Structure 1
């Protein structure tokens, strides 16, 4: 069986632009690795789209005291009802360490929500404080490389 080129979708939610910056770094890394990548804003994305890709990366922000992005609630709830067997996922996002215990809490919520879908975790959650730095880009490259390797192993 010939391997097909991997494809990915990066779904993001942002208020400040920091999470879109995280998503863009991930997308650049995926493209450099030769993948076809679709970028979509969470409120404009149906969870069923993730059934069409090898890799799904979700980049949500955490609002207020650990809340999910309002515009991502439908997407979050719909995740409970989709079968993503064969899809490798990753979750990353920006937060503000100022919020202490609720720092990047939405990332954990999304991980709990996606686990029962049959998707395979490709890498540990990556939490970025505020706008991603050059050091964060290195961490995100490792995150992306791990996810790609996992997806290749599943082919």
Structure 2
């Protein structure tokens, strides 16, 4: 059976709410994912999983959040060839770059050889019930890509 890892950074709880709904979707598809805050995860762990879901809010004008930086830096040099990945995060349209952290993480995953199998999921601030359903479906879709 495939192994799935969900790692996220959340300051106000918005990205964590997304991560929880995604986790529920992965579970619904038959896999119990590993679920971690970026502060409790190590970039090197990514090599142990078939499916990777990374989530981060965008800080300021397009930066990764501080609590995601160590994890992101630890990804350097990994070989993620054969891994299926997807990225999500809460965003704020009042900034010039909408959800740039999601795009930054997608590029990093691609550089490391991962196959990014879903378009980055960006939600304005806190997810509505409909957006939580989108997150749930996002988790299920990643599992479908592993089959």
Structure 1 stretches of 4+ with a deviation exceeding 6 A read none
Tell me the alpha carbon deviations over residues 38-79 of structure 1, each in whole angstroms, 9 at most, x when there is no partner.
111112211121111111100111111111111211211222
Structure 1 unaligned spans of 5+: none
Give the structure 2 partner of residue 35 of structure 1.
Answer: 31
Tell me the alpha carbon deviations over residues 87-108 of structure 1, each in whole angstroms, 9 at most, x when there is no partner.
1100011111222x32211111
Structure 2 unaligned spans of 5+: none
Tell me how large the CA RMSD over aligned residues is.
1.3
Structure possessing the higher relative contact order (Cα contacts under 8 Å, 6 or more residues apart): 2
TM superposition shift of 1:141: 3.3
**Could you tell me whether the CA contact under 8 Å between 1:13 and 1:60 is conserved in 2?**
yes
Q: Which residue, 102, 106, 109 being the options, matches 2:101?
A: 106
SS in structure 2 opposite 1:71? helix
Give the structure 2 partner of residue 71 of structure 1.
Answer: 67
Matched, 1:127 2:122: yes
Give the structure 2 partner of residue 94 of structure 1.
Answer: 90
Whole-angstrom CA distance in 2 between matches of 1:73 and 1:61: 12
Answer with 1 or 2: which has the greater Rg: 1
Whole-angstrom CA distance in 1 between matches of 2:45 and 2:36: 10
Give the structure 2 partner of residue 60 of structure 1.
Answer: 56
Whole-angstrom CA distance in 2 between matches of 1:139 and 1:36: 19
**Could you tell me whether the CA contact under 8 Å between 1:122 and 1:148 is conserved in 2?**
no
Whole-angstrom CA distance in 2 between matches of 1:27 and 1:139: 12
Give TM-score, length-normalised by structure 2.
0.93
SS in structure 1 opposite 2:123? strand
Give the structure 2 partner of residue 116 of structure 1.
Answer: 111
